[in-house]
Amino acid sequence: MSIFIIAEIGINHNGDLNIAKQLIDIAKECGCDAVKFQKRDINIVYSQEFLDSQRESPWGNTQRDQKKGLEFEKNEYDEIDKYCKKTGIEWFASAWDLNSQNFLENYNLKYNKIASAMNVYHDLLEKVANEKKHTFISTGLSNLEDIEKAVEVFKRVNCPFELMHCVSEYPLPTEKANLKMIDKLRQKFQCSVGYSGHEVGLPIAVAAAAMNITSLERHITLDRSMYGSDQSASIEPQGLKKLVQYVRVVESAIGDGIKKFDEQEQKIAKKLREHLSK
């Protein structure tokens, strides 16, 4: 099975539907399988004190202005849903609260996503698992006990899922990538494992592709210098194109681990060993 490549748009659209559409187009053109967004009810996720605090941004002078400016609502998601169907690419989103998960149920999405920050939110885990959609569960910001509790929820109700190895630093230092956790998660939880990366560059994700991951997620952006907390850990269009190409090459090169000595190699062996039969 081919690695399922997810282009994480997240909040890199900066509240602009046209930017979101450009990123959807780029993901499709580069060969990604899906795009992903993030959905929050800011009045639930953040305290009123925090929202009223000062924060300079393109949308105003408070945290409320900034957080609201980064959120798409129903009109925008209706258009995203329509645009992705027209473009021929799947979309889904990670909800940060129950209201947002209820909101996403309005769309006929094939997938769910548990963000690393939410993988200990039991009520959300229960709700998502009971939807019985294939769910990607990121494992950043957690220990093995946290992950085990999340896995138990999905296994108990027989909801299809896969874990995604993730270290939630933005951007992620190379020496902290810890790709050996991919095998450890697979062995411990007996499930498929993907990789969600926040590093700069492509080599770590390509290396993960060689470790039999089933999914790969990277943040994408039009320009890493744009406003936003996730932009610097994201991939620009040319980088995304290269990443997808590299991953597909790695997939074809992995093989099945069975030693082969086919007809072409036998011909070469005969030629190169002629002197041994003299």
At 239-267, the pLDDT tens digits run 999 999 999 999 999 999 999 999 999 99
At 9-48, the pLDDT tens digits run 999 999 999 999 999 999 999 999 999 999 999 999 999 9
Nearest to 70 by CA among 57, 52, 61, 88: 57
Q: Which residues contact 128 (CB under 8 A, 6 or more apart)?
A: 95, 101, 112, 114, 135, 159
Residues 95, 104: Cα–Cα separation, whole Å: 8
| pLDDT tier for residue 137 given thresholds of 50, 70 and 90 | very high
Q: Rounded to two decimals, what is the model's pTM?
A: 0.95
Q: What is the pLDDT of residue 1?
A: 80
Strand partners, 39: 95
Residues 138, 184: Cα–Cα separation, whole Å: 15
Section 127-147 average pLDDT: 98
At 153-174, the pLDDT tens digits run 999 999 999 999 999 998 999 9
Three-state DSSP class for residue 141? coil
**Can you read off the two tokens belonging to residue 227?**
């406003």
Q: What is the pLDDT of residue 257?
A: 92
Give the mean pLDDT of the chain: 97
* Contacts for 64-68: CB closer than 8 Å, 24+ residues apart: 67/40, 67/42, 68/42
Q: What is the pLDDT of residue 261?
A: 95
Q: Per the omega criterion (within 30 degrees of 0), is the bond before 171 cis? A: yes
DSSP string, 26-37: HHHHHT-SEEEE
186-196 residues labelled b (16+ CB within 10 A) or e (exposed): beebebbbbbb
**Can you read off the two tokens belonging to residue 58?**
């393109």
At 47-100, the pLDDT tens digits run 999 999 999 999 999 999 999 999 999 999 999 999 999 999 999 999 999 999
Would the pLDDT of 180 be above 80? Answer: yes
Would the pLDDT of 277 be above 90? Answer: no
Domains of the chain: 4-277 (3.20.20.70)
- For 72, which DSSP code? -
Q: What is the pLDDT of residue 175?
A: 97
Strand partners, 163: 137, 193
Would the pLDDT of 278 be above 80? Answer: no
Q: What is the pLDDT of residue 142?
A: 97
